[in-house]
Amino acid sequence: MLKDTNCGELRSADSGRKVRLAGWVHRRRDHGGLIFIDLRDASGIVQLVLNPENAAAHAAAHRARIEWVLQVEGEVRNRDAATVNPNMATGEVEVVPTTVSILNEAATPPFYINEPVDVDENLRLKFRYLDLRRPEVARVIYLRHEVVRHIREFLYARGFIEVETPTLIKSTPEGARDFLVPSRMRPGSFFALPQSPQILKQLLMYGGVEKYFQIARCYRDEDTRANRVAEHTQLDLEMAFVDQEDVMALIEELYTGIAQKFGSGSLLQAPFPRIDYQDAMNRYGIDRPDLRFGLEFVDIAEPLRGSGFQVFAGALQAGGQIKAIRVLGRADMTRRDIDELTEIARSGGAKGLAYIGFTPGELRSPIAKFLSETEIASIKTLTGAEDGDMVFIVADQPAVVARALHEVRTSLGQRLGLIPEGVLAFAWVTGFPLLEWHPDEQRWDATHNPFCGFPESSREHLQPGGDPGKAASFQYDLVCNGAELGGGSIRISNRADQELVFSLMGHSPEQQADRFGVVLDALEYGAPPEGGVGAGIDRLIMTLAGTENIRDVIAFPKASSGSDPLMGSPTPVDAGQLEELGLLLKPSAPQA
RNA sequence: GGCCCCGUGGUGUAGCGGCCUAACAUGCCACCCUGUCAAGGUGGAGAUCGGCGGUUCGAAUCCGCUCGGGGUCGCCA
């Protein structure tokens, strides 16, 4: 090895040790006589001190520039009390080199490596190998490694085996758009990259593997978002002979351990609270509520049923709802805040955002004049508002109220500073309906995935004449701080039930055989009761690292535009490759 | 596909019709400097303002198109 010691690990106790270090020049302070070099390697940074008395080493240090690669042999010594740097992990010591070898010179980097300045992201991605040298970037990549390692060790210890599944699989038109890979052996046919190993892991269960997991790459050819990229990684896990509680208990133990070991803050609640889906929708308007703050919805429809205020009465007559959020002590909120919140409510689909500020004396509310004193008093009582509080109200169809008021709640949480730093608010959401009606396509669709099981008590709803929307499911979602971190279910384990669900979803027997024939056939040969989860690794790391951008937790991410500034992909390919694949490009497509 | 925002020396920003033959910080280069840790000091090099076209006596600054990037809705679990 060119080094026998890591820079970042040197401490006072190492004083007197002869060490060999190698790393990059993080910073250089050349006093002409004395030269200080901060030498950085993967472990951290340590200060070198070069004295003119050692002419060769001093000359090399004088010549060295930022990001040059050095090898140093020297002695560790304690710094004088006056020169100790308490801001550095290695600040009590420094290394006095006897030799300094320049292993490589370096061009001036296109952006700062030694300062956490916001640099144009495209430039960072283009020079990702330099970006990764930045300690704050590297930190997250190391965190990710440690978390995945923890997951593996946790599951190995509980008898899980890690099985790889193919990344060239069969395309199905369900769900997200597939990435396609043309087949050379069978021109005109395509593989798809998996959106998840769902079917394969079920087949593993049918194959007698009782405890499987995989850190699996998943692909979806859809537009990106801050927390969504074309390829992401999930902890894919499946177990045989379990019920819902078994899977949830296992995952909860795993995530509790991760939060305690790697979370920068505290777990809000453990064991994780459980929220019924309908309850979550009622109280937060979303199935992945952020439980770090309150501002729950209150249903205030009842006393307004016969109201003279048409906006309220009309909404109720049309089968809608009226819900409110009470904001403690903010009746004096600025006009600007209110306007912005109104705009947010509108973007969520609401026609407007009503409010009543319970200011002492006269109410602060453009709608108060349309409401009776009794109605206002009822709103006050139901919301628990007191003088000085503000109440926001949305009246509309349930889906609109949920969405608009959720956006308002989230914005209020942010703008009022109600979201505590470093808190991890995990929760389970259960009790999802099995199916939901898709008006556009005029058919039922699975809320989670079509293999999700259902309790016997729901069977009647799935029979002819029943209301499939009432069927319960064995689905569970893990949420944290308003993000869905994972979800899973106990699967259907017999052919008849699976066919029943597919049929309700509008798949003909032919379509079922074509798309899911393997699963249906396999279910006939003694499938065990089984279930599992798919849990997003990227989002988990985002939550732990406290970053808003999924690219921060991926070593070599694609840009938001879906391209890769580092490698320059995607690119056209040459005519010979296309020929082999039996592909012909449309004239409008750029040619290689 | 729609909407919003951004694009000025290596980097981050300022300038938003003539005072800009473009400013500031930092980085870079040279010299001085033995205790700094965002070292300090002196001097120097470095951008025609993403691209194209237009308006104007005059454009980094206004308009149109276009390219690149970011966010968001649609889409997506």
* Residue range A154-208, pLDDT digits in tens: 999 999 999 999 999 999 877 899 999 999 999 999 999 999 999 999 999 999 9
What is the distance, to the nearest Å, from the Cα of residue A554 to the centroid of all Cα atoms in its chain? Answer: 12
What's the rounded Cα separation, in Å, for the pair A203 and A208?
A: 9
What's the rounded Cα separation, in Å, for the pair A265 and A190?
A: 47
Paired tokens of A146: 């440690």
Residue A170: CB atoms within 10 Å: 14
Instruction: Verify if strand B has an atom below 7 Å from the CB of A30.
Output: yes
Window 425-464 of chain A: CB closer than 7 A to strand B? 447-448
For residue A415, name the pLDDT band (cuts at 50, 70, 90). Answer: confident
Q: What is the mean pLDDT of residues A27-47?
A: 95
For residue A592, name the pLDDT band (cuts at 50, 70, 90). Answer: very low
Burial label for A542, CB within 10 Å (0-12, 13-18, 19+), is buried
Q: Three-state DSSP class for A49?
A: strand
Say which nucleotide is closest to residue A560, CA to C1' distance: B70
Q: What share of chain A is helix, strand, coil (3-state, %, to 5)?
A: 35, 25, 40
Per the CB < 8 A criterion, the answer to whether A21 and A44 are in contact is: no
Q: How would DSSP label each residue in A384-409?
A: T--TT-EEEEEEE-HHHHHHHHHHHH
C-alpha distances out from residue A577 to A180, A183, A205, A564, Å: 16, 11, 39, 21
Instruction: Verify if strand B has an atom below 7 Å from the CB of A370.
Output: no
Q: What is the mean pLDDT of residues A294-308?
A: 91
pLDDT (0 to 100) of residue A167:
96
Q: Tell how many helices (H) and how many strands (E) occur in chain A.
A: 16, 23
Nearest residue for B77, CA–C1': A448
Beta strands (DSSP E) in A145-230 are 161-162, 180-182, 190-192, 211-219
Instruction: Name the range with the highest mean pLDDT among A14-28, A171-185, A250-264.
Output: A14-28
What's the rounded Cα separation, in Å, for the pair A289 and A293?
A: 10
Window 37-56 of chain A: CB closer than 7 A to strand B? 38, 47, 49, 51-53
Window 142-201 of chain A: CB closer than 7 A to strand B? 175-177, 195-196
pLDDT at A254 over 50: yes
State, as a whole number of angstroms, the distance between the CA of A116 and the C1' of B25: 15
Instruction: Verify if strand B has an atom below 7 Å from the CB of A118.
Output: yes
Query: Which of A9-18, A215-224, A333-342 shows the lowest mean pLDDT across its residues?
Result: A333-342
Q: Three-state DSSP class for A150?
A: helix
Burial label for A378, CB within 10 Å (0-12, 13-18, 19+), is middle
Window 504-543 of chain A: CB closer than 7 A to strand B? 534
Instruction: Verify if strand B has an atom below 7 Å from the CB of A549.
Output: yes
State, as a whole number of angstroms, the distance between the CA of A430 and the C1' of B55: 62
State, as a whole number of angstroms, the distance between the CA of A53 and the C1' of B41: 24
Reported pTM: 0.93
Instruction: Verify if strand B has an atom below 7 Å from the CB of A110.
Output: yes
Instruction: Verify if strand B has an atom below 7 Å from the CB of A88.
Output: yes
Paired tokens of A370: 């349309």
pLDDT at A590 over 80: no
pLDDT (0 to 100) of residue A414:
87
Instruction: Verify if strand B has an atom below 7 Å from the CB of A226.
Output: yes
Nucleotides of B under 7 A from a protein CB: 1, 10-13, 26-29, 32-40, 68-77
pLDDT at A258 over 90: yes
Encode pLDDT of A523-545 as tens digits.
999 999 999 999 999 999 999 99
Greatest pairwise CA separation for chain A in angstroms: 95
Q: What is the mean pLDDT of residues A507-532?
A: 95
For residue A588, name the pLDDT band (cuts at 50, 70, 90). Answer: low
State, as a whole number of angstroms, the distance between the CA of A246 and the C1' of B5: 47
pLDDT (0 to 100) of residue A64:
95
Encode pLDDT of A57-104 as tens digits.
999 999 999 999 999 999 999 999 999 999 999 999 999 999 999 999
Instruction: Verify if strand B has an atom below 7 Å from the CB of A94.
Output: yes
Say which nucleotide is closest to residue A121, CA to C1' distance: B69
Encode pLDDT of A454-479 as tens digits.
999 999 999 998 999 999 999 999 99
State, as a whole number of angstroms, the distance between the CA of A62 and the C1' of B31: 14
Instruction: Verify if strand B has an atom below 7 Å from the CB of A483.
Output: no
Query: Which of A164-168, A194-198, A314-318, A431-435 shows the lowest mean pLDDT across its residues?
Result: A314-318
Q: What is the mean pLDDT of residues A379-400?
A: 93
State, as a whole number of angstroms, the distance between the CA of A542 and the C1' of B60: 39
Closest by CA position to A388, among listed A470, A333, A456, A466? A333
Window 563-582 of chain A: CB closer than 7 A to strand B? 563, 565
Burial label for A231, CB within 10 Å (0-12, 13-18, 19+), is middle
Query: Which of A97-106, A361-370, A434-443 shows the lowest mean pLDDT across its residues?
Result: A434-443
pLDDT (0 to 100) of residue A352:
87
Instruction: Verify if strand B has an atom below 7 Å from the CB of A116.
Output: no
pLDDT (0 to 100) of residue A233:
96
Q: How would DSSP label each residue in A318-366?
A: TT-EEEEEEETT-TT--HHHHHHHHHHHHHTT-S--EEEE--SSS-B-S
For residue A237, name the pLDDT band (cuts at 50, 70, 90). Answer: very high
Say which nucleotide is closest to residue A118, CA to C1' distance: B12
What's the rounded Cα separation, in Å, for the pair A26 and A23?
A: 9
ipTM over 0.85: yes
Q: What is the mean pLDDT of chain A?
A: 93
Tell me the angle at which helices A277-284 and A398-415 cross, rounded to the nearest 10 degrees. Answer: 60
Q: What percent of chain A stands above pLDDT 90?
A: 80
pLDDT at A346 over 70: yes
What's the rounded Cα separation, in Å, for the pair A4 and A529?
A: 53
